[in-house]
């Protein structure tokens, strides 16, 4: 892949990113690459304003995308560029960084490999959530990590009825529901007691109740071809359907949300020296206690 244009996305209000952005731009200028930055006020007020382009060119006129930040920034970037089919290179400045695999102290050497054509990509599929009110679809949004039905500011539990492929599963009371992709299994779903699924497993997704009021209700792993319908039985107003932690849709009692397979996917440039298990060890601290015992 010949790289002529690179779009760089950062968190719009994170000024601590600017020194790293300066280093990256200096490197790319030497490569004679056309640098494209989004029209954020923070960038417009900085010395990088000359690289700002309009939104259409930023998204569609690019050969590779660099996301600088945590997984939240990567998710925003993935949603922006999902229809382009271009690979995304993540530089981690967040706390966990399951998606932004390259550290700020090493990314330049791996960018050099990318310009030489020596890199690998992983395809990550997205799922879709369709909101339905009174039998009519109001909109569909795709997600890379997870979609969450939550009770918002309400302190009382909400009641949700679940169907899978048209067959009734159950109804339960709790704080909500997480539907996660294999990529999102290490995000909110993991905090809520869900299983870790290797992202290379593209043909499944996770159904994970949040704090259900019954011990019998547990998370499930379903084939990606499944269609899950969640109907809100509680008569509350202004519940939330949150998509990848980025967008929130208001939902009410008797509304339905259908979760199903999407035809969209993103390409993630993967670290050549770290597989998923090594990243788990690094991010979750697996093996640290054994290492300490060995040292002592």
CA distance 75 to 130: 19
CA 214 to chain CA centroid, Å, is 29
Long-range contacts of 45-50 (CB under 8 A, 24+ apart): 46/18, 47/22, 48/18, 48/21, 48/22
Q: Is position 71 annotated as part of the catalytic site?
A: yes
The C-alpha angle with vertex 92 and arms to 109 and 62, in degrees rounded to 5, equals 70
Task: Say which of 39, 56, 63, 71 is annotated catalytic.
Answer: 71
Radius of gyration over every alpha carbon of the chain, rounded to an integer in angstroms? 21
- Which string of b and e fits 92-128 if b means at least 16 CB within 10 Å? bbbebbbbbbbebeebeebbeebbeeebeebebbbbb
Which pair of tokens denotes residue 161?
A: 């009825």
CA distance 149 to 230: 9
294: helix, strand or coil: helix
Catalytic positions are: 71
């Amino acid at each position: 892949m010949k790289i002529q244009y690179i779009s760089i996305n950062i968190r719009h209000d994170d000024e601590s990113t600017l020194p790293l952005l300066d280093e990256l731009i200096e490197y790319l200028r030497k490569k004679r690459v056309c640098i494209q930055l989004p029209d954020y006020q923070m960038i417009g007020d900085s010395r990088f304003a000359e690289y700002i382009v309009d939104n259409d060119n930023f998204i569609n006129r690019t050969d590779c995308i660099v996301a600088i930040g945590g997984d939240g920034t990567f998710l925003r970037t993935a949603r922006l560029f999902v229809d382009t089919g271009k690979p995304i290179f993540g530089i981690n400045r967040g706390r966990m960084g399951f998606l932004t695999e390259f550290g700020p102290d090493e990314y330049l050497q791996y960018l050099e490999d990318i310009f030489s054509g020596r890199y690998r990509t992983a395809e990550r599929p997205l799922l879709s959530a369709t909101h339905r009110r009174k039998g009519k679809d109001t909109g569909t949004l795709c997600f890379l990590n997870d979609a969450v039905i939550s009770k918002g500011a309400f302190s009382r539990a909400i009641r949700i009825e679940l169907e899978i492929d048209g067959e009734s599963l159950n109804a339960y009371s709790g704080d909500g529901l997480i539907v996660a992709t294999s990529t999102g299994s290490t995000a909110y779903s993991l905090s809520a007691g869900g299983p870790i699924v290797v992202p290379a497993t593209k043909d499944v997704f996770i159904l994970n109740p949040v704090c259900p009021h019954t011990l019998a209700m547990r998370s499930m792993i379903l084939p990606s071809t499944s269609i899950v319908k969640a109907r809100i039985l509680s008569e509350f107003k202004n519940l939330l359907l949150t998509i990848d932690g980025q967008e929130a849709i208001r939902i009410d009692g008797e509304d339905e949300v259908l979760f199903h397979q999407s035809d969209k996917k993103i390409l993630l440039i993967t670290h050549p020296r770290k597989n998923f298990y090594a990243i788990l060890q690094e991010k979750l601290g697996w093996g640290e206690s054994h290492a300490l015992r060995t040292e002592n």
